Amino acid sequence: MSKYIRKTDAENMGRPKVDINREQFEELCSLFCTLSDISGFFKCSEDTIQNWCKNEYGETFSVVYKMFLGAGKTSLRRNQFALSKTNATMAIWLGKQYLDQKDIQYMDSTDGGFNVNIYNDLENRLNDKD
């Protein structure tokens, strides 16, 4: 009698194992892909991704997702700052987001009419230094 028991075809039935590549998973998280996007990429259910995270990282999907989302945000900020060197609109937007700069509106009616002029706070601060 053999010490090894061969499984029958009936015992080998079931879903095939889904191969989730850890590097690809982390990259998808850093690209802001949702759970639905990631499960679609790996052609499996969202539950499979959630269970895989528990087994692979010992954490829920949302905790793991947040760990790798930071890398994506850092990369995006780096690209935005590089773009701001050649794109005034991006520089103004970043100033508003991170430096508390804002557009200031004031009314000017010195010419008898009613005009509304919008000045960028950054431009005003630069002019004040002259």
19: CB partners within 8 A, 6+ apart: none
Spatial separation of the C-alpha atoms in residues 3 and 112, rounded to whole Å: 104
Residue 99: per-residue pLDDT:
78
More confident residue, 8 or 104: 104
Distance of CA 50 to the CA centre of its chain: 19
67: CB partners within 8 A, 6+ apart: 29
Residue 102: per-residue pLDDT:
81
Average pLDDT over residues 45-53: 96
Digit-coded pLDDT (tens) for 90-111 = 888 888 887 777 877 766 666 6
Spatial separation of the C-alpha atoms in residues 92 and 120, rounded to whole Å: 8
Judged by DSSP in three states, 48 sits in helix
Amino acid at site 126: L
Digit-coded pLDDT (tens) for 15-46 = 778 899 999 999 999 999 999 999 999 999 99
Indicate the DSSP class of residue 11. G
Split at pLDDT 50, 70, 90, the class of 63 is very high
Judged by DSSP in three states, 120 sits in strand
Q: Are 20 and 61 in contact (CB under 8 A)?
A: no
Digit-coded pLDDT (tens) for 69-94 = 988 888 888 888 888 889 888 888 88
Residue 126: per-residue pLDDT:
59
